[in-house]
Amino acid sequence: MYLKKRVYGQNNSITFHSEEVMVRRFAAVCMIFLTGFVFTIGTSHAQSGKVVDLSHVFQPGMESRTFDIETFGADGVEPADQLVQGYWYVMHNVTLHNHNCTHIEFPYHISERGDDCASFPLDRLCGDAVVLDLRDIPAKSFITAAQMEKAAQKAGGIKNGDIVLCNLGYAEHYRTEKYSEAPQFSTESIKFLVDAGMKMMGVDATGVEISGGAHNVNHHALLDNNIALIENLAGLNKLSKSRIQVYAFPIAVEGLDSFPVRVVGIE
Ligand SMILES: [Zn+2]
């Protein structure tokens, strides 16, 4: 209504209208530049970030621990009279052991008062990450602190607040006998990473604990320091850089110590 009045009103109104048109044209030009600027930044960011899946694909019924799905027709839930005959419309019941396939562990795993899947801070589950190449460590041997330090130096060092992903080269052996032959982490090697300021750790192996060793000593070294642990990582060999961005968010379930997680690396 206001604009219409100006267009068809008195001279002073028309003059005012033309000023407004100029202002609007100026604003439009600014918007075009701004849109182009934002679009350029957006596309350049998207183009520079190669997205790499660092999780294994779940195979229901094929995992070493329970992961079964039961498919049922959603017409058992939705009113049947709203469904067309033969229409594919399903839902699932899932029975899941939470330490399964690629999963992430939180302090509640070994500490009654520790954070669980729902309460653990999100800012410790994403950010800058360094990928350590430990593929030359012999099978079944212990990774020493010195070997870990050497790998860290080769990767450009560990910065305070880094996520550390350890590439043992075993992801391709997942679901085979050979997977259990992966090198083990000495407690000193874990402590080296903790002292360097690591905020989250991931490994392409069953875990970090020493078989037959002291009770959960490596888990305590991590989880007691609020360092979440991802087990059974995949895809590390697809990365071409040692410094990337990582995002690892499980769903927020109250009262769970661990849950499967989709880990994403962006380089
Ligand atoms: Zn686990």
Q: What is the rounded CA–CA span in Å between residue 73 and residue 83? A: 11
Distance 101 CA to ligand 1 centre (A): 9
Half-sphere exposure of 40 (CA within 13 A, CB side): 6
| More reliable by pLDDT, 62 or 13 | 62
- Residue bearing tokens 């997977």: 179
Cβ(61)–Cβ(71) under 8 Å?
no
**DSSP 8-state class, residue 143:** E
81: pLDDT confidence band, cut at 50, 70 and 90?
low
Distance 28 CA to ligand 1 centre (A): 56
Q: Residue 36: is its pLDDT beyond 50?
A: no
Q: Among candidates 53, 54, 56, which has minimal Cα distance to 174?
A: 56
Task: Tell me the pTM.
Answer: 0.80
Lowest mean pLDDT among 73-87, 95-109, 130-144: 73-87
Cβ(245)–Cβ(219) under 8 Å?
no
Distance 26 CA to ligand 1 centre (A): 59
28: pLDDT confidence band, cut at 50, 70 and 90?
very low
The runs of H, that is alpha helices, within 49-120 are none
Distance 257 CA to ligand 1 centre (A): 9
Cβ(264)–Cβ(58) under 8 Å?
no
| More reliable by pLDDT, 54 or 9 | 54
CA dihedral 55, 56, 58, 63 (to 10 degrees): -130
Mean pLDDT rounded to a whole number for the chain: 84
Lowest mean pLDDT among 19-28, 40-49, 177-186, 230-239: 19-28
Report the pLDDT value the prediction gives residue 215, as an integer from 0 to 100.
Answer: 86
| More reliable by pLDDT, 211 or 105 | 105
Q: Residue 77: is its pLDDT beyond 60?
A: yes
Report the pLDDT value the prediction gives residue 89, as an integer from 0 to 100.
Answer: 85
Distance 239 CA to ligand 1 centre (A): 24
Distance 75 CA to ligand 1 centre (A): 36
Q: What is the rounded CA–CA span in Å between residue 31 and residue 43? A: 18
Distance 103 CA to ligand 1 centre (A): 7
**DSSP 8-state class, residue 55:** B
Report the pLDDT value the prediction gives residue 212, as an integer from 0 to 100.
Answer: 75
- Mean pLDDT computed over 91-118: 97
Report the pLDDT value the prediction gives residue 30, as an integer from 0 to 100.
Answer: 41
pLDDT in tens, 114-170: 999 999 999 999 999 999 999 999 999 999 999 999 999 999 999 999 999 999 999
- H or E segment to which residue 94 belongs: strand 90-96
| More reliable by pLDDT, 222 or 82 | 222
